[in-house]
Amino acid sequence: MASFKQLCEQDKEKINKWIGGGKKRYTLLYSAANNGCDPTTFHTNCDNKGPTVTLVYNVNGNVYGGYARVSWMSGSGESVYDSDAFLFFLKGESGQKPCKFMIKAPEYALTMNKDCGPTFGKGPDLLTFQNAITKVTDSLPLPLNSVMSPGTYQISADTVTEITGGKFDAEDVVVYAVEDVAQEIYLPTPWREMDLPTWNSELLNLLKKEIEEYWPLREMGVSEDVIPYINILLLGPVGAGKSSFFNTLNSLFRERLSIQARAGSSDTSLTKSFNVYSIISNRRPLRFRICDCRGFEDAHGVDLFDIEAILDGNIKNKYTFVDKSHITKESPFYRRDPKMHDRVHCVAIVVDANNDPDYPMTEHVQEQIKRTQELMNQKGVPQLILMNKIDGLSESVRGDLSRIFHSQEVKERVEKLAHSLRLPPYTVLPMKNIDTEQRININVNILALYNLRQMLRAADDYLLNYLDEFSGDKFEPTYEKSSDTI
Ligand SMILES: Nc1nc2c(ncn2[C@@H]2O[C@H](COP(=O)(O)OP(=O)(O)O)[C@@H](O)[C@H]2O)c(=O)[nH]1
Ligand SMILES: [Mg+2]
């Protein structure tokens, strides 16, 4: 599939300001690179959808486009009045400043033509494409007249050359629906049934105690020494917050800020090695370990062979990943005879909640995750999604994290993310981490423990499939045996 260009949060903020009014929601309707550069497809996806923003990503790395308040329609070249429409230049490779070009003649603002892509002005000032265009190489050869014969908008021919860099070929033409998000919706009934009553220090202590007293399959009557601990593997794109999640948990049990796992926002993975962390509470290691893995990256990232070896328990702590290669059986970090407690019992895919929920990561990373998911499915390893950084998603939740399960915004994000990772919504765990400037926060800790508890339960579910392998004397089921007549 061709590369689809994402509209990042900063770009959205810029466009929001140009449109005016408050917060907006952007929903992807059409991408020429993904859906095909064909006017019929554009009109099928975008007609009658209300206000839209169109972006052209040209081969010079310049991004420009237009906003239309009036819906697109499949006409035969009629002009339509739109006094709010404007053209804009968003960004360019050579650092040109973003700029909005106002409408001069609103009666000609938009041209409705079933044979054309989005068309602004009568000139037209911006015609994205005419008739279907086949992608030859990585770019779409948009017609040379695609941009622009200015007249309807306050843009000059010189400016056109500047913003296009003289190139009309594009990598993508993308259309988003733009809706006003009037105000955040607070749902009186939580969207997820939780056994979390009031969020206070009492609840925090209860959850903490439950986790301190956890051991694998305890609830099934398996005794304490059968499986010493379970392993939770954190996987996901670089910068999603894998290391930070461990630091949040560790700080919580140590009751002081801990940055044992290096966290940072560098583009390439800071975590170059496989690190297995355990947490000490009351001078005793807790019965789970967090495996922090190198992040998925665009250029390389963790190899599928290595992931399989990690899942099977073949890779030892502190193994350093090698670019474009993987562990061999000769490596001193290769464990030849992994036991049950060396395996991964639960995987949490860590994703940044602020990414476009339809395209939560780049295609390359999405592909790595998809292949990893296939592997986990084969092996029956339970998967959860840690939807991190929800503080960036909703102002009211940022102010009071305990509102999280009452926020319509978070609920919708959870559903979309679950859909794009092909997992049921209940597997998505919304999360916010502590950062280094922040004091330890009760609500952050409650959420972290709640999410951890879901991971421990998932790990127990995995182990249940292997009950037969645990020796009989150590395993004494406490549940009733089914009756003889069945
Ligand atoms: N706002 C916000 N930032 C976070 C959160 N969790 C992590 N971060 C930041 O995101 C960046 C990347 O985090 P890191 O844990 O290194 O990601 P990793 O590459 O997945 O291990 C760091 O600058 C963190 O401070 C969160 O919940 N909210
Ligand atoms: Mg990391």
CATH number at residue 293: 3.40.50.300
What SS3 class is residue 112? Answer: strand
Give the total residue count for the chain: 486
The two tokens of residue 150 are 């200015």
Q: Are residues 460 and 345 in the same domain?
A: yes
* DSSP letter (8 states) at residue 265: -
> With bands split at pLDDT 50, 70 and 90, how would you rate the model's confidence at 471?
low
Contact 109, 68 (CB under 8 A): yes
Residue 52 lies in a domain: yes
Q: Which residues neighbour 258 within 8 Å (Cβ) at sequence distance 6 or greater?
A: 247, 250, 251
What does the alpha-carbon distance between residue 10 and residue 117 come to, in Å, rounded to a whole number?
Answer: 26
**Structural domain includes residue 51:** yes
Atom 16, ligand 1: residue with shortest CA distance: 263
In this structure, which ligand is nearest to the CA of 353?
Answer: 1
Name the closest-CA residue to atom 7, ligand 1.
241
Helix (H, G, I), strand (E, B) or coil at 391: helix
Q: Distance between CA atoms of 86 and 105, rounded to whole angstroms?
A: 11
Domain for residue 479, yes or no? no
- Distances in Å between the Cα of 445 and the Cα atoms of 251, 387, 430 are 9, 16, 13
Q: Place 267 in a pLDDT band, splitting at 50, 70 and 90.
A: very low
Q: Are 286 and 434 part of one and the same domain?
A: yes
Whether residues 309 and 398 fall in one domain: yes
What are the DSSP E strand ranges found in 365-478?
A: 383-388, 428-430
**Torsion sign over Cα 281, 282, 288, 294:** positive
Tell me the pLDDT tens digit for each residue of 51-101. 999 999 988 888 999 999 999 999 999 999 999 999 999 998 877 889 999
**Binding site membership of 271 for ligand 1 (Cβ less than 6 Å):** yes
- 175 and 61 within one domain: yes
What is the distance in A from the centroid of ligand 2 to the CA of 413?
Answer: 24
Domain match, 288 and 210 both = yes
Q: Is residue 50 part of a domain?
A: yes
Based on the fold, state whether residues 376 and 298 are members of the same structural domain.
Answer: yes
Residue 1 has pLDDT above 60, yes or no: no
Evaluate the omega torsion of the peptide bond into residue 148 and state whether it is cis, within 30 degrees of 0.
yes
pLDDT at 470 over 70: no
Q: Which of 244, 266, 349 to mutate to test the pocket of ligand 1 (most atoms within 8 A of CB)?
A: 244
Per-residue model confidence (pLDDT) at position 20: 87
Do 222 and 349 lie in one domain? The reply is yes
How many A from CA of 251 to the centre of ligand 1? 15
Residue numbers of the domain that contains 206:
201-469
Nearest to 92 by CA among 208, 200, 4, 11: 11
pLDDT at 483 over 50: no
Q: Which residue in 350, 306, 349, 309 sits closest to 324, CA to CA?
A: 306
Q: Are 434 and 306 within one domain?
A: yes
> Closest Cα to residue 376, out of 273, 458, 464?
458
Instruction: Give the position of tokens 């002005």.
Output: 121
| pLDDT reported for residue 439 | 63
- Dig out the tokens for 268 from the structure: 């390439």
Distance from C-alpha of 412 to C-alpha of 409, rounded to nearest angstrom: 5
Pair 141, 268 in one domain: no
Ligand 1: does its nearest atom lie under 6 Å from the Cβ of 301? Answer: no
pLDDT tens digits for 191-202?
887 777 788 899
Whole-number CA gyration radius for the chain:
26
User: Half-sphere exposure of residue 357, counting CA atoms within 13 Å on the CB side?
Assistant: 23
307: tokens are: 């992931």
Cα(208)–Cα(92) distance, rounded to whole angstroms?
A: 50
In 183-237 the beta strands, taken as DSSP E runs, fall at 230-235
pLDDT tens digits for 419-446?
989 999 999 999 998 765 566 688 999 9
Ligand 2 ion: nearby residues, β-carbon < 5 Å: 242-243, 271
User: Do residue 283 and residue 148 come from a single domain?
Assistant: no
Ligand 1 mutation target, pool 433, 434, 445, most atoms within 8 A of CB? 433
Name the helix (H) or strand (E) containing 441: none
Shortest-distance atom of ligand 1 to CA 236: 20
Is residue 477 in some structural domain?
A: no
In a domain, 186, yes or no: no
Residues 62 and 158 in one domain: yes
In the reported structure, the alpha carbon of residue 271 is separated from the centroid of ligand 2 by a whole-number distance in angstroms of 5
Say if residue 382's pLDDT is above 70: yes
| Structural domains of the chain, count | 2
Q: Buried (b) or exposed (e) across 202-234, using 16+ Cβ within 10 A?
A: ebbeebbeebeebbbbeebebeeebbebbbbbb
Distance (Å) from CA 7 to ligand 1 centroid: 20
Q: Give the residue among 75, 74, 29 at the shortest CA–CA distance from 55.
A: 29
Shared domain for 299 and 158, answered yes or no, is no
User: For a substitution probing ligand 1, which of 246, 435, 436, 437 has the most ligand atoms within 8 Å of its CB?
Assistant: 435
Helix (H, G, I), strand (E, B) or coil at 438: coil
Residue 19's closest CA among 50, 59, 57?
Answer: 50
Residue 45 located in a structural domain: yes
**What tokens were used for 366?**
């999405």
Residue whose C-alpha is closest to residue 260's, from 273, 274, 279, 241? 279
In a domain, 475, yes or no: no
For residue 138, how far is its CA from the centre of ligand 1 (angstroms)?
33
Asked if residue 247 has its Cβ within 6 Å of ligand 1, the reply is no
Task: Specify whether the CB–CB gap between 169 and 141 falls below 8 A.
Answer: yes
- What pLDDT, on a 0 to 100 scale, did the predictor assign at position 478? 39
